[in-house]
Amino acid sequence: MSIVEDLDRQLATTYSRRTTASRALYERAQRVLPGGDTRTGTFYLPYPTFMDRGEGSELVDVDGNRYIDFLGNFTSLIHGHAEPRIAAAIAEQARRGTVMGYPTEAQVALAELLVERVPSVERLRFCNSGTEAVMNAIRGARAYTGRRMIVKIEGGYNGAYDAAQVSVTPGFHAPPYPSGIAEGPGVSPGIVSEVLVTPFNDLETLRWILERYGRDVAAVLVEPMVSYAGMLRADEGYLQGVVDAAHAVGALAIFDEIVTFRVGYGGLQGLEGVAPDLTTFAKVIGGGLPVGAFGGREEVMAIFDPRRAGGVSHSGTFNGNNATMAAGLEAMRMWTPMAIARLDQLGERLRQGLQRELDAREVLGHVQGMGSLSHVHYCAGPVRSYRDALRSPRHCARLMHLGLLTRGFLWASRGMTALNTAITEAEVDALCGAFGEVLDLGRDVFPRVGSTEPAMADA
């Protein structure tokens, strides 16, 4: 047995001992849900932890174990679990009707709040998920430009829509740019052929792609910090360069701010002072309920105006439902510049604390991110692109996740964390301590500073 398998087995045994009720539910779940789960991205081995309830910064599982939640439903809970004011807003709305099937003032109020915060967004529409937001933004860009292709970033996750399910995790066998590959079977090959793939932080390749295919390109879709591939931060000038390159060929720039909106009062675009044509939102703007929104320049968004002959159809039974709007409004009103500044500090404390634990043990690793969002890579940093991130061996992230889980700390199995306003400095410090403990436990597994970087075969 290899040292990795040995540690894996050791951690899995501890995990299984602590989570017998989760295991029983997992076995029951497999009889009705394929794989015993209903969300690919959150699944992990030996089996996922089944949760009972959330309270502020904590989750409690069905065995009664308590965890400090450094994930917040994959970045969507900016104020932690069951925040009393948000819960009260939802309860009040439940009494008055969760969805009317007609427009309501709550939709206008949340739209006004977002338009006020994000200058590039003059008009917006609501939907029910980030996936739908990206789908509608792409459709709108196609309709507005009369073109069919989009350019997306290699390693970027922009939701489950077919056009976004291209080259998210192509591994080391990715075709040469700008070709992309379907993220698994079932994604329409016709749609894949209309998606061009480009590396993040590489304007030269983007310009080259646009020179060759520009007249068919409706939009360049980019997440201003690529969260899924490991919080890849944009080089100075890159985001403006993307917008300029798109405009030079008559295409639109779409920023996916579904995760990154939380880094600033007006999202990451506000901090960078860059204005895309369209922006997609989800997660935090729903206050913990399902949500999506897409918006941008008035002239572009007019394509969705139902009075317009030949406009784009955008429907959805629960678009702008009152429960989501009430929760979102409450959450966003509490997401003040002061709250953002506090989480920025807490995020810095976390990144520095984790990096200190790595450095103290001479473990090869780099913690990067921005504001409340961070990611640990087990390779030298900064990590600037998807292919760069492949240097971090996946088993390190997996073992760290399991090690933290057994110590009462939750983050994504790929090594991502998202802070929320319920988390304290002491909880951040406790996480750093637990991180160090797992590094000690896996002393022979985590790469050492000065060692040859892991072979790419690991991906």
Ligand X SMILES: Cc1ncc(COP(=O)(O)O)c(C=O)c1O
- Active site (catalytic) residues: 157, 256, 283
Q: In Å, what is the CA distance from 84 to each residue of 54, 81, 87, 113, 195?
A: 12, 9, 5, 21, 44
Exactly one of 48, 54, 80, 159 binds ligand X (CB under 6 A); which one? 159
Q: In Å, what is the CA distance from 126 to each residue of 229, 281, 294, 433?
A: 27, 9, 7, 41
Q: Is 256 in the site for ligand X (CB under 6 A)?
A: yes
Q: Which of 181, 258 has the CB closer to ligand X? A: 258
Q: What are phi and psi of 28, to 5 degrees?
A: -65, -40
Q: Which of 225, 358 has the CB closer to ligand X? A: 225
Q: What string marks each residue from 66 to 105 as x (binds ligand X by CB under 6 A) or -?
A: --------x-------------------------------
Q: Which of 234, 282 has the CB closer to ligand X? A: 282
Residue written as token pair 């998202």? 418
- Which residues ranging from 99 to 158 are in contact with ligand X (CB under 6 A)? 129-131, 134, 157-158
Q: Angle 394-405/425-441 helices, nearest 10 degrees?
A: 120
- Which residues ranging from 273 to 332 are in contact with ligand X (CB under 6 A)? 282, 292
Count of chain residues binding ligand X (CB under 6 A):
15
Q: Which of 293, 404 has the CB closer to ligand X? A: 293
Distance, in Å, from the CA atom of 400 to the CA atom of 403, rounded to the nearest integer, reads 5
Distance, in Å, from the CA atom of 436 to the CA atom of 450, rounded to the nearest integer, reads 19
Q: Bridge-partner residues for 278, per DSSP? A: 254, 296
- Which residues ranging from 384 to 443 are in contact with ligand X (CB under 6 A)? none
- Which residues ranging from 204 to 233 are in contact with ligand X (CB under 6 A)? 223, 227
Distance, in Å, from the CA atom of 195 to the CA atom of 182, rounded to the nearest integer, reads 10
> Nearest approach, Cβ of 286 to ligand X (angstroms)?
9
Give the list of residues 6+ apart from residue 309 with CB closer than 8 angstroms, or none.
none
> Nearest approach, Cβ of 157 to ligand X (angstroms)?
5
Task: Give yes or no for a contact between 401 and 417, defined as CB atoms under 8 angstroms apart.
Answer: no
What is residue 128's DSSP assignment? Answer: S
> Nearest approach, Cβ of 454 to ligand X (angstroms)?
26
Exactly one of 135, 259, 327, 383 binds ligand X (CB under 6 A); which one? 259
> Nearest approach, Cβ of 305 to ligand X (angstroms)?
25
Q: Tell me, what amino acid is at 212?
A: R
Please identify the residue of the shown chain whose CB is closest to the bound ligand X: 130
> Nearest approach, Cβ of 167 to ligand X (angstroms)?
15
Q: Which of 276, 454 has the CB closer to ligand X? A: 276
Helix, strand and coil percent figures for the chain, each rounded to 5: 45, 15, 40
> Nearest approach, Cβ of 227 to ligand X (angstroms)?
6
Q: Is the peptide bond before 170 cis (omega within 30 degrees of 0)?
A: no
Q: Which of 373, 396 has the CB closer to ligand X? A: 373
Q: Which of 157, 386 has the CB closer to ligand X? A: 157
Task: Give yes or no for a contact between 415 and 401, defined as CB atoms under 8 angstroms apart.
Answer: yes
Q: Is 258 in the site for ligand X (CB under 6 A)?
A: yes
> Nearest approach, Cβ of 274 to ligand X (angstroms)?
17
Q: Which of 222, 354 has the CB closer to ligand X? A: 222
Please calculate the CA angle 159-206-279 and round it to the nearest 5 degrees: 40
**278-282 and 292-296 as β-strands: parallel, antiparallel, unpaired?**
antiparallel
Please calculate the CA angle 125-131-132 and round it to the nearest 5 degrees: 35
> Nearest approach, Cβ of 75 to ligand X (angstroms)?
7
Task: Give yes or no for a contact between 391 and 381, defined as CB atoms under 8 angstroms apart.
Answer: no
Sign of the C-alpha dihedral, residues 82, 86, 90, 92?
positive
Q: Is 167 in the site for ligand X (CB under 6 A)?
A: no
Distance, in Å, from the CA atom of 359 to the CA atom of 449, rounded to the nearest integer, reads 9
> Nearest approach, Cβ of 232 to ligand X (angstroms)?
12
Q: Which of 11, 138 has the CB closer to ligand X? A: 138
What burial letters (b/e) apply to 72-85, b meaning 16+ CB within 10 Å?
Answer: bebbbbbbbbebee
User: Which residues form the interface with ligand X (CB under 6 A)?
Assistant: 74, 129-131, 134, 157-159, 223, 227, 256, 258-259, 282, 292
